[in-house]
Amino acid sequence: MTNPALVGAPDGQAGSRRRRSRRRLTFDRVSFMVVFLGLPLTIFVVFVIWPFVQAFYYSLTNWSGFTPDMDFIGLANYQKLLADDIFMTALWNNVLLAIVVPLVTIVLSLALATMVTVGGSGHGAVRGLRNSSFYRVVSFFPYTIPAIITGLLWAQMYDPSRGLLNGLLTGIGLESFESFPWLGDTRTAMPAIMFVIIWSFVGFYMVLFVAAIKGIPSEMYDAARIDGAGRLRTAFSVTIPLIRENVQTAYIYLGILALDAFVYMQAMNPGGGPENSTLVMSQDLFTTAFSKGQFGLASAMGVTLAAMTLVFAGLVFLVNRLTGGGQRGEAR
């Protein structure tokens, strides 16, 4: 039935009125916006954005954390951090973790995922290694152990006098490792903890990459075989480009983990290790806030850590974009 208000009206006016009538706020539309847009946005602002704003404000004060009194001191806390050798050491340790841990974990996870999906026989149908399900279960097992338990277990294994690692090494004739302090030597403390973090997460990201690789059509691998591509060339020309977005996401999550790493460091080296060789910013933050009672300075550390995390994620996205990741994703 034609709307009488639109009869005789010019086409432009009629179209404008129709659009306004379609945009009219109804109860269903308002309730949808409130429940599915307004409520989640409110929760996000209250429990995510507002704590960040509070932390930034506290970082500009000399708040002790245990009294309501605080004085606004501006950027003095950030200037103090730049002149703090211990904090700069912790920052460098976090940067080192953010470079090494994601890179090694992703390389190992991709290698294992490739072997259990397309690393089988080079003839016939594309398939993984025999009994690949067993490898998935075994490699995923470390991820099921809570981080604090993993750290405490490996701290016992690294123990100089009664640790399993030194016992195995001396058992095979390497007497120089008798009573060797893996977590007490500046040369080995950080690599030893890095190994534990990587060991904990390789299996999890291998399973994620297995799911991504299984989404690649087998015809792509068949075509690569026909063209004479070897396993390494197939991995770099077929597998990695087609799961590029998954690799990017994994790198960001692992980088965020490495920039924190509080649980692993605190479980294995609570004091920051020899000469602060394993101290990270979250440990320094914890000590500054709860042992020294300097919550304003600790908040500045937290803001710095949050900024580093955002910069890290931005760099990963930027590198992916500059190397053509976005265009390939849009093309697919």
pLDDT band at 214 (very low <50, low <70, confident <90, very high): confident
Q: Position 3: which residue type?
A: N
pLDDT (mean) for 56-78: 91
- 33-47, 85-99, 179-193, 262-276: segment of lowest average pLDDT: 33-47
pTM to 2 decimal places: 0.82
Which tens digit of pLDDT belongs to each residue from 284-306? 999 999 999 999 999 999 999 99
For residues 314 and 308, what is the distance between their CA atoms, to the nearest angstrom? 10
- In the prediction, which pLDDT does 231 show? 76
Contact 196, 264 (CB under 8 A): yes
Which tens digit of pLDDT belongs to each residue from 135-146? 777 788 888 899
- 22-26, 96-100, 255-259: segment of lowest average pLDDT: 22-26
For residues 21 and 70, the model is more confident at: 70
- In the prediction, which pLDDT does 227 show? 79
pLDDT (mean) for 126-133: 64
**Res 97 pLDDT > 70:** yes
Percent of the chain with pLDDT over 90: 48
